[in-house]
Amino acid sequence: MCTVTWRRRHDGYVLLFNRDELRSRQEARPPRSHGEDGGLPYLAPEDGDFGGTWLATNAAGITVGILNGPRLDVGVRNVRSRGFIVRDLATSSDLREVERRVRDSDLSQVRPFRLLAIGPKPAARVFEWDGRELAFDRDAETRMPLISSSFDETEVGRKRLREFRRIVGDDVSPERLHAYHRSHANGPSAYSVCMHREDAGTRSFSRVDVSEDRVSMSYRAGNPCEERTEVTVDLARASRSIRGDGA
């Protein structure tokens, strides 16, 4: 279960990501820089259980984030963690390369997912794997906020969308988006954007900032409504020859 929003700017974008997980999952490791061995550098936290990640942004300004897909009985065995899909895509120099890599991936042992890829220029792309077929949306700007829930997909989506319209409306500013990601609507619950359940909750809040010269990722463990220590890491934007400014 997760909620993702973003705001375009003239030189890049801001992206916010609530990661909802079971409380039985181990604490994730804060983001750090990866790929210093010659590949395109990227920033990503690390899942404490399997070692993959749910969010990565690279020096070309490309960000990839993964959410749960529909809960279908697709008979997947010997499951490969969805977090490694993000790692496979993290060094893509533009959205066309992201799409090519997704198409070339063997997803037969991966549970359903919804994957967002966004670059400095519109439009964001969403890839959806239901365990059998892969669908593409190459113009996903209007799908924000992007929401997933393994608890009650339809009702969670409906309530979080209603809260988005109440708090953000037509004023899609970083300040309003932050307020949305901290919100509880009629009280903290499984349906609120800042999610609270006895067995699960929003385990972390991340913010990605992409500008003309820098890429940064800020990370706070725990629910966004709580005061927690924030970790921020950044990278210089790559040269134009490998930047993700195109589609």
Q: What confidence tens digit (pLDDT) does each residue in 23-71 have?
A: 998 999 999 999 866 679 999 999 988 889 999 999 999 999 999 887 6
Flag the least confident range among 1-15, 36-50, 147-161, 189-203.
147-161
Average pLDDT score over residue span 102-114: 93
Distance CA 242, CA 42 (A): 13
Question: Which CATH number goes with the domain that contains 215?
Answer: 3.60.60.10
Percentage of residues in the chain having pLDDT higher than 90: 75
Q: Which helix (H) or strand (E) holds 12?
A: strand 12-22
Structural domain contains residue 160: yes
Distance CA 52, CA 66 (A): 11
Residue 80: predicted pLDDT: 86
Whether this prediction's pTM lies above 0.85 is answered by: yes
Peptide bond into 123 cis (omega under 30): yes
pLDDT of 108 > 80? The answer is: yes
Q: How far is CA 77 from CA 29, 47, 132, 234, in A?
A: 27, 21, 14, 37
User: Each residue of 114-170: pLDDT tens digit?
Assistant: 999 999 988 999 999 998 899 999 999 999 999 986 667 688 889 999 999 999 999
Its domain, for residue 199, covers 2-242
Torsion of CA 161, 162, 163, 164, to 10 degrees: 50
Identity of residue 182: R
Residue 48: predicted pLDDT: 85
Structural domain contains residue 235: yes
Average pLDDT, the chain: 91
Distance CA 220, CA 167 (A): 22
Contact 164, 7 (CB under 8 A): no
Structural domain contains residue 15: yes
Secondary-structure percent of the chain, ordered helix, strand, coil, rounded to 5: 20, 35, 45
Residue 78: predicted pLDDT: 57
Residue 122: predicted pLDDT: 84
Residue 186: predicted pLDDT: 85
Average pLDDT score over residue span 179-197: 94
Average pLDDT score over residue span 188-208: 95
Average pLDDT score over residue span 105-121: 94
- In sequence order, what are the residues at sequence separation of 6 or more whose Cβ sits closer than 8 angstroms to the Cβ of residue 136? 99, 125, 126, 127
pLDDT of 79 > 90? The answer is: no
Contact 109, 80 (CB under 8 A): yes
Residue 150: predicted pLDDT: 61
Residue 77: predicted pLDDT: 60
Residue 151: predicted pLDDT: 60
Structural domain contains residue 162: yes
Structural domain contains residue 101: yes
Structural domain contains residue 247: no
* DSSP reduced 3-state for 183: coil
pLDDT of 76 > 80? The answer is: no
Residue 13: predicted pLDDT: 98
Residue 70: predicted pLDDT: 72
Per the structure, how many domains does the chain have? 1
Q: Is the model more confident about 107 or about 241? A: 107
Question: What's the order of all strands across the beta sheet hosting 29-34?
Answer: 29-34, 42-46, 55-58, 63-68, 113-118, 125-129, 134-137
Contact 209, 32 (CB under 8 A): no
Q: Cα 13 from chain centroid?
A: 14
